[in-house]
């Protein structure tokens, strides 16, 4: 897939002076709920109303969506509010129904993007239509699989495309429901600057209190839009209750978010600079996290050495590590002097930690 300018055209047709905002409940529950939330989102920054009709649930027995009836409710919401409507499709019959009810934007969920068969089935069912299709990242951090989904649609003549970054599952515990791994959308953006990129902070966070900071990072990284789950009674939502916010909170959050409008050359320069600086911040944060992990492994080694009464400093092993790192560093354009200085500092910090363990009672 080449970087096709036409991919961004649909977004430009919106003529927004702010990021594209897609909001609405995780799931359509009742006609009344769908209409109420849509009316509360009318006359805000929201342009697209979302609601899941078919819900891919991790475990069976959970609420799996109201099904096709929800499309009627969405259509009514569109008629009454003028908002465009969006829903998730996961097979050809979903696509057929969504087309019948003239859903404006269809998205492919994270659990579907992982399967080339499903994405192909959806792409074939959409061939010949001019729908906007957004591809969520696969649950696992695999950029090729994500791009592969976009390519399958592009080859089926779907040209109004975009991607949604909703974070990635990890086994490790973290403050996120789905780890953002910002380096993936950053790389995607560097490779395809004209592919509209939308952040879904709701599924990244899994909780309300960090939605704002995730959304701000996304805007600082020059994302084109946000998809935020919104419900009039979040605590009693039938799915994803912990992460949904009320329309009122969404409006407040949007007011707090700093968005950058590109109006002239100076602003364009600042915008690019800010995006790059945020990329550096994300990378630095990752560096610290990695160093922290390295120290906890060093501490474990300290514990073992203490049991065996072995000296902390193992010169032979240390020289081997250094030699390897200098070679690897060279391949990445890092000078020998820098690699030496950096690893000496890291090594010293490890020794300090290990000595603390060994000297503890
Ligand atoms: C959703 O948007 O409600 C959803 C199910 O998202 P994801 O595919 O990102 O889990
Ligand atoms: Mn959800």
**Domain locations in the chain as residue ranges:** 4-256, 267-359
Compute, in angstroms, the gap from residue 60 CA to the centroid of ligand 1.
16
Residue nearest to atom 9 of ligand 1 (CA): 110
Mean pLDDT of the chain: 92
pLDDT at 214 over 60: yes
What confidence category does residue 2 fall into, taking pLDDT thresholds of 50, 70 and 90? low
Does the domain spanning 267-359 belong to CATH 1.20.59.10?
A: yes
Dist CA 320 CA 353 (whole Å): 21
pLDDT on residue 171: 85
- Token readout for 80 is 């009454």
pLDDT at 263 over 70: no
What confidence category does residue 4 fall into, taking pLDDT thresholds of 50, 70 and 90? low
Lowest mean pLDDT among 11-20, 71-80, 118-127: 11-20
Superfamily of domain 4-256: Aldolase class I (3.20.20.70)
Ligand 1 atom with the shortest distance to the CA of 112: 8
Name the residues around ion ligand 2, CB cutoff 5 A: 26, 240
Residue nearest to atom 8 of ligand 1 (CA): 109
Is 309 exposed, middle or buried, given 0-12, 13-18 or 19+ CB atoms closer than 10 A? exposed
Mean pLDDT score, 272-301: 89
Ligand 1 atom with the shortest distance to the CA of 203: 9
Dist CA 137 CA 258 (whole Å): 25
267-359 shares the fold of 4-256: no
pLDDT on residue 320: 87
Percent over 70 (pLDDT), the chain: 96
Compute, in angstroms, the gap from residue 73 CA to the centroid of ligand 2.
18
């Amino acid at each position: 897939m080449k970087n096709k300018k036409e991919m961004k055209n649909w977004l430009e047709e919106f003529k927004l002076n702010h990021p594209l905002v897609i909001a609405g409940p995780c799931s359509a529950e009742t006609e009344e709920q769908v209409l109420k939330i849509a009316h509360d989102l009318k006359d805000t920054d929201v342009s697209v109303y979302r609601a899941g009709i078919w819900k891919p649930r991790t475990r069976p027995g959970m609420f799996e969506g109201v099904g096709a009836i929800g499309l009627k409710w969405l259509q009514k919401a569109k008629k009454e509010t003028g908002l465009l409507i969006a829903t998730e499709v996961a097979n050809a019959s979903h696509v057929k129904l969504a087309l019948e009810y003239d859903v404006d934007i269809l998205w492919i969920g994270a659990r579907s993007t992982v399967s080339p068969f499903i994405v192909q089935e959806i792409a074939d069912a959409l061939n010949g239509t001019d729908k906007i299709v957004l591809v969520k990242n696969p649950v696992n951090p695999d950029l090729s699989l994500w791009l592969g989904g976009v390519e399958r649609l592009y080859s089926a003549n779907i040209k109004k495309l975009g991607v949604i970054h909703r974070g990635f599952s990890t086994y490790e515990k973290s403050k996120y429901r789905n780890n953002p791994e910002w380096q993936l959308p950053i790389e995607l953006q560097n490779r395809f600057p004209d592919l509209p990129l939308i952040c879904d902070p709701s599924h990244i966070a899994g909780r309300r209190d960090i939605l704002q900071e995730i959304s701000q990072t996304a805007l600082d990284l020059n994302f084109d839009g946000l998809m935020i789950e919104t419900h009039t009674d979040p605590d009693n939502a039938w799915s994803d209750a912990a992460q949904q916010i009320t329309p009122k909170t969404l409006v407040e959050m949007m007011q707090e978010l700093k968005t950058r409008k590109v109006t002239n050359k100076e602003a364009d320069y600042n915008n690019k600079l800010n995006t790059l600086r945020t990329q550096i911040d994300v990378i630095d944060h990752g560096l610290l996290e990695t160093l922290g992990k390295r120290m906890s492994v060093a501490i474990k080694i300290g514990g073992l050495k203490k049991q065996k009464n072995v000296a902390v400093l193992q010169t032979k092993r240390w020289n081997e590590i250094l030699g390897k790192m200098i070679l690897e560093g060279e391949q990445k354009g890092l000078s020998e002097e820098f690699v030496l200085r950096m690893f000496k500092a890291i090594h010293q910090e490890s020794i300090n930690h290990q000595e603390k363990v060994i000297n503890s009672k």
